[in-house]
Amino acid sequence: MATKIIPPAPKVGMVSLGCPKALVDSERILTKLRSDGYQMSPDYAGADVVLVNTCGFLDSAKEESLEAIGEAIAENGRVIVTGCMGNEADVIRARFPQVLAVTGAHQYEAVVNAVHEASPPVPNAFVDLVPEGGLKLTPRHYSYLKISEGCNHRCSFCIIPSIRGDLVSRRIDAVLREAEKLVHAGTRELLVISQDTSAYGVDVRHEPRQWKGAEIRTHMTDLARALGDLGVWTRLHYVYPYPHVDQVIPLMAEGKLTPYLDIPFQHASPKVLKAMKRPANDAKVLDRIRGWRDICPDIAIRSSFVVGFPGETEEDFQYLLDWLDEAQLDRVGAFRFEPVEGAAANALPDPVPEEVKEERYARIMEKTAAISAARLQAKVGRTLPVIVDEVGEMDEDGSIGATARSQADAPEIDGNVFLRDVQIGRADLKPGDILDVLIEDADEHDLYGVPVENQPR
């Protein structure tokens, strides 16, 4: 009887840049390639072809993408480029004429076909190639759940619609089916992402679908309720403060959703917001935030702001600082305005000098750090649930520490909770375990604590 010799599978390397939405794209591409028989390479040397998933939102991000392409070419030579910068194929090819192919954002079929052409797959019907839930680039215990592509807004500083197109919502039954598979495969925390989570389903007029014998609308609130029944932490990102957002706050108070909202306010000055062409410019946002906290006192609100936008005066910037004093947001990121090729904001008058941008950036970071420190200090002495991300090694005293996050902390974005003595009397604590922790100390961004019991939930 002849022995069947299985030929070695070609190997693909991946460099994934940009936001979590791009990371999900990378996971989907790798999952399809894995199902086609490809192996994954952790380094350049072992890869038959390297994929570079680029970011094209800011000029600085584009330059980082070009540097990554250059590194991949230097280290491997066989490179396929995809992602948000793929719509600038002429720029990429002018600098790197040796790239094998260039495809745009979420063009999964095109990039997979390019890999097939560059390094044809080897048929193999004897091996189960794809784990349940697909391949992941995040740790097993948390997963990003992308619910839509594109955006209907036309903010003057943003070129995302020209890269990713208008809003296209995924079928709600498909989203929930994916979420269930992720949870079944070990996910303890779902991070819902899109360009505009609040607008989910607008493009399909919130069409209803059948799910588990009942009708469910393609709508953020219906999705939130259904995800809340899965029994894991569910975190909402990129939420514009439309009126219906108020309906998800009681779900947080009930423990169905993680009490966390990521809202991209971008500024507070009405004049600057108008120049930015920002949607949902609600003058009563501060009142709504207070109302949310009345319903769910533990809700954490994170946001990002742009300083130095064209036409921003000192009065506008001071308005923002005063607004932050009132809003008391838990987590804040700030960015200096950066012109992006193709953005309407580039043509606005009265650009802010770079030195003024730097000075304002330093002031807003000082302000938000002080707010964060005070809000974290108020948690000292409380017992909070945390999810473990990493368990450390035993030190010379026999103690083991761990890095975790509270419900107010999204991975790789917000702060951490650093734990001591996590394995006294036990030796099997692992990432994804959820512990009740007594908070002992705090600084500007992080908490420090000790488990109050030895058994994770």
Q: Which residues are annotated as a binding site for [4Fe-4S] cluster?
A: 19, 55, 84, 151, 155, 158
**Residues annotated within a binding site:** 19, 55, 84, 151, 155, 158
Beta partners for 404? Answer: 388, 417
Quick check: helix, strand or coil at residue 61?
A: helix
Q: Is 174 exposed, middle or buried (0-12, 13-18, 19+ CB in 10 A)?
A: exposed
Distance separating the N- and C-terminal Cα atoms of the chain: 53
Q: What is the Cα–Cα distance from 411 to 416, expressed in whole angstroms? A: 8
What string of DSSP letters covers 374-393? HHHHTTTT-EEEEEEEEE--
The CA distances from residue 402 to 18, 126, 217, 387, 390, in Å, are 27, 40, 41, 10, 6
The C-alpha angle 122, 128, 130, rounded to 5 degrees, equals 90
- Residues 6 or more apart from 300 whose CB is under 8 A from it? 259, 260, 261, 330, 331, 407, 408, 409
Closest CA to 198 of 234, 239, 168: 239
Alpha helices by DSSP H, listed for 119-185, are: 160-164, 172-184
